Structure 1
Amino acid sequence: MNEQQRKEASQIKQSNPSDVKNDSESNLERLKQMGSDELIGKYFQTTYEPPNLKKAKKRLKKDVDIHYDFSISEEMQTIGEGKKFLIRTYGCQMNEHDTEVMAGLLTDMGYQTTDDVNQADVILLNTCAIRENAENKVFGEIGHLKPLKLENPDLIIGVCGCMSQEEAVVNRILKKHPFIDMIFGTHNIHRLPSLLKEAMFSKEMVVEVWSKEGDIIENLPKVRKGRIKGWVNIMYGCDKFCTYCIVPYTRGKERSRLPEDVIQEVRHLAAQGYQEVTLLGQNVNAYGKDLEFEYGLGDLMDELRKIDIPRIRFTTSHPRDFDDRLIEVLAKGGNLLDHIHLPVQSGSSDILRVMARRYTRESYLELVRKIREAMPNATLTTDIIVGFPNETDEQFEETMSLVREVGFESAYTFIYSPREGTPAARWEDNIPMEVKKERLQRLNALVNEQAKQAMQQYEGEIVKVLVEGESKKDPDVLSGYTERNKLVNFRASKSLIGKLVDVKITKAKTWSLDGELAKETAEVL
């Protein structure tokens, strides 16, 4: 960058330093043409460094540090008094749990939550990058928020989560949505108080996205949704690098929490009266592989089953890491539920190979056999992608036959869409959309039929239901889930919310069950 360019950049900033905040795209465009990242960094925030997917792929051997000393600075502890926040969450349970942490941080700063964007002083979009549709929703929401920002310049709008870890996303926001106040990633959520302070007082866009994953911060505050079911992170990141998946880049390498910290958190939830805990991880059954001692998910669950909490689940598992020790422990039953979500993605060994899943159709079916032998009543659900590059009709039929053979009771099914930065995105997406849609329709018809058949087996049976609240469709009806994750609707007193009750199933539908309180339970009440 020559001296003339530097002078011109300085004149842009000095002439109206709030131009970018007022959505003057021309100045930003001039900066980008003149020298790009260096100038953008100085114009917005001196620490700005765009996220780098190549850096994110590097797995450093440095040990992950664990911190127990997190605190919010004194000046930020009351900054939110009399103000409100709103967090919109997209994507998986991990994102939902991250939202609980951010809500905890904001609450500890004095903010109160609201569902009304017109009342909010801080709006955060906690984003998902796993599919193109999720990104489109976020950018649509950003567009809807622009008039609010113009009407109320003091409103702080932030974009965080997995999308923020993508170079293309950050650059798009810088170029087209400069009214956004801050962008931060998945590794530095604990920095929210400091980033919010910078956004409030610098009046410049704050961008802090770490390509290298962060450490584990153990004592972050959380505001959990309700007091019935709780999520507990046991690990972060993923090292699998499936060729279609952006998660290893946005969430970093695998980092496991220490067993004693997980156990303490679950005990704390049990003491508070929680009825169910779900252990979370992008690849949850890889837990412990990065620890300095031999310890896995099976060992952790063997200890957790001794805690007085009715139900313990985990998600999402990878077939490659589902070992015999985990099966052995799950077979002990008790509060360890035998509903297992086991993403297969494809029934073709050839497609699995180019997906870099590192298992075959045959090894997956052998794992299913082992699970069914140890837990005859286990419920299996899965994820499946159709229309992966070069998938033939015969390879798709292999997926259909595997679904029939396993007998999945539910499946999340998706049409393949390339994610920028992944290996598969460089390949020709050569399956016509009409073919993808036709395959998806056939697959969904099969999954729906199997789900319906599985549900019909419950008619006349008495099942134990954890009552979560009112039905979304009828406030006079209660709803909750069985041990095998089946949704049950029934009429009863709202005093049962948060309790485990016996319900007799009277009618089976494809995705839910209708029932009535079992006679013995009704008599006790």
Structure 2
Amino acid sequence: MKVAFHTLGCKVNQYETATMEQIFQDAGYEIIDFKDTADVYVINTCTVTNLGQKKSRQMIRRAIQKNPDAIITVTGCYAQTAPGEVLEIFGVDLVIGTQDRHKILEYINEIVKERQPINAVADIWQQREFEDLSAPFFGERTRATLKIQEGCTEFCSYCIIPYARGGIRSRKLSSILEQAELIVKQGYKEIVLAGIHLGAYGRDLDNVKLIDVLKALEQVEGLERIRISSIEATELNDELLLLMQQSNKFCRHLHLPLQAATNEILTKMNRKYSVEQYKSIIEHVRNLIPDIAITTDLIVGFPGETDELFKQGCEFIEAMSFADMHIFKYSKRSGTPAAEMEGQILNTDKDARSREIAGIIDKSKLTYHQKFVGKILPVIIEQQFKDGDISKHESHGKLFEGHADNYMKLVFNANEEDIGKLVRVQVKQAGINYSMGEIVKDNHKEDYSDN
């Protein structure tokens, strides 16, 4: 039997697809490319925006067209929030939502016998336990995601995720360590901790917090790096920051979502901090961990974002000197308060504002990267450099790429057999999307943290 997967959306979805792939592999299925003819198709959907839902439906129909006799399984956030709508698509056999993926083969075997569609979506708000699924294998050879938390109860006015993921559920510490050790045994050097609301880890457990997870992971033998995927700035504390400061295993990189750069829009978003609070936290982080990379998210064109508010936001963003930013143009999501707000912004204005913010961020990225010219950074070699135009680079061998612990992408000469190795790279030339470097074999040279 052959199974094919397609994943839309975030790293959590990608992790969950990996867990389902493992379930099918253990049952003897062959995993093939989604464009090929399979016996079972699994589409892991997204519902963050209406566009995400549209793309999810397109991929469902593509699978049905590829093999009308295949069992079509739809899971993920769109399946959870609109199971009836998904089942109305002719050809869908199984809808399973964001919980109970461990039962996916049971449902498929039942469909094979009866060939009757199954709606297996449960009430997500009745879920109290983290669905503990293993995913030791990933597409990347050097970095693995480890999901440790599920659910969110913040109810930002633009976000449907609480309705798709439910309340806070945390993975038990023993399970996290077991999974981490399994990942390391497979040869991965870096683990990225992920969750829907990572900073809320442990709220549903007795006497366990995120800091306990970090301290325990630090002791895992063979694990070179630990990276926190995303955490709210207001959920940082000195204990966590001091651990990052003192340990060589923790990446000097924090992704701290901002979402809006003025208090007026933050209030409309139901975000629970001010720009002044955010700025104060970032200054404190940088004071404790100099040269740390602070990256963020920003939603452009939120309802009520006037030209004046946008201008104020640009000034704030420029002053914050972010190392990078994910820019999202606001998209209405049916079922959220923001979709009904007055002052909706024209798409043409969203496009123009997005380009302006991108220009600011390119400058701040370059400024951040220029700080490291001449310094030596620890880099895990990931793959051969894939840039289309390498003629401008003076090179006497093959170029490879990898990320430093501060998430700078560096390009340098290396060999195929070096992929996966942790090396020390001296930054030679700074760029916006990547910087050029050279592997340093002189162990007497200092790393940037010692400069």
Structure 1 residue 408: Cα displacement: 0.4
Aligned to 1:163: 78
For residues 141 and 352 of structure 2, what CA distance do their matches in structure 1 show?
A: 43
Are residue 189 (structure 1) and residue 111 (structure 2) matched? no
Label 1:146 to 1:267 Cα distance change in 2 as closer, same or farther (>3 A): closer
Are residue 303 (structure 1) and residue 216 (structure 2) matched? yes
For residues 259 and 202 of structure 1, what CA distance do their matches in structure 2 show?
A: 40
Structure 1 residue 300: Cα displacement: 2.3
Correspondence list, 1:101-112, <5 A: 101-112=19-30
Give structure 1 stretches of 5+ with no counterpart.
1-82
CA contact (8 A) 2:48 2:160 kept: yes
Which AA in structure 2 matches 1:313?
R
Aligned to 1:6: none
Which AA in structure 2 matches 1:210?
A
Are residue 172 (structure 1) and residue 172 (structure 2) matched? no
Partner SS, residue 94 of structure 1: helix
Correspondence list, 1:335-350, <5 A: 335-350=249-264
| One of 444, 468, 471 as aligned partner of 2:382 | 468
Structure 1 residue 271: Cα displacement: 4.3
Are residue 203 (structure 1) and residue 119 (structure 2) matched? no
For residues 252 and 270 of structure 1, what CA distance do their matches in structure 2 show?
A: 31
CA contact (8 A) 2:18 2:137 kept: yes
Aligned to 2:372: 458
Partner SS, residue 286 of structure 2: helix
TM-score normalised by L of structure 2:
0.90
CA contact (8 A) 2:73 2:94 kept: yes
For residues 183 and 405 of structure 2, what CA distance do their matches in structure 1 show?
A: 19
Structure 1 residue 161: Cα displacement: 0.7
Structure 1 residue 434: Cα displacement: 1.9
Which AA in structure 1 matches 2:118?
V
CA contact (8 A) 2:379 2:422 kept: yes
Label 1:185 to 1:222 Cα distance change in 2 as closer, same or farther (>3 A): farther
CA contact (8 A) 2:260 2:299 kept: yes
Give structure 2 stretches of 5+ with no counterpart.
389-396, 444-451
Correspondence list, 1:186-335, <5 A: 186-213=98-125, 214=127, 215-218=129-132, 220=134, 222-293=136-207, 295-308=208-221, 309-335=223-249
Alpha-carbon RMSD: 2.1
Which AA in structure 1 matches 2:219?
K
Which AA in structure 2 matches 1:194?
E
C-alpha distance after superposition, 1:184-218 (max 9, x if no partner): 11112111111211222221222211222543343
Higher Rg: 1
Label 1:136 to 1:219 Cα distance change in 2 as closer, same or farther (>3 A): closer
Percent identity between matched residues is 29
Partner SS, residue 124 of structure 2: coil
Are residue 516 (structure 1) and residue 438 (structure 2) matched? yes
Label 1:311 to 1:254 Cα distance change in 2 as closer, same or farther (>3 A): same
Aligned to 1:79: none
Partner SS, residue 67 of structure 2: helix
| One of 92, 96, 102 as aligned partner of 2:10 | 92
Label 1:124 to 1:324 Cα distance change in 2 as closer, same or farther (>3 A): same
| One of 480, 486, 489 as aligned partner of 2:408 | 486
Structure 1 residue 499: Cα displacement: 0.5
CA contact (8 A) 2:376 2:424 kept: yes
| One of 101, 106, 117 as aligned partner of 2:35 | 117
Say how many residue pairs are matched.
432
Which AA in structure 1 matches 2:302?
F
TM-score normalised by L of structure 1:
0.78
Structure 1 residue 221: Cα displacement: 5.9
Moved more, 436-445 or 206-215: 206-215
Structure 1 residue 490: Cα displacement: 2.2
C-alpha distance after superposition, 1:36-61 (max 9, x if no partner): xxxxxxxxxxxxxxxxxxxxxxxxxx
Label 1:511 to 1:89 Cα distance change in 2 as closer, same or farther (>3 A): same
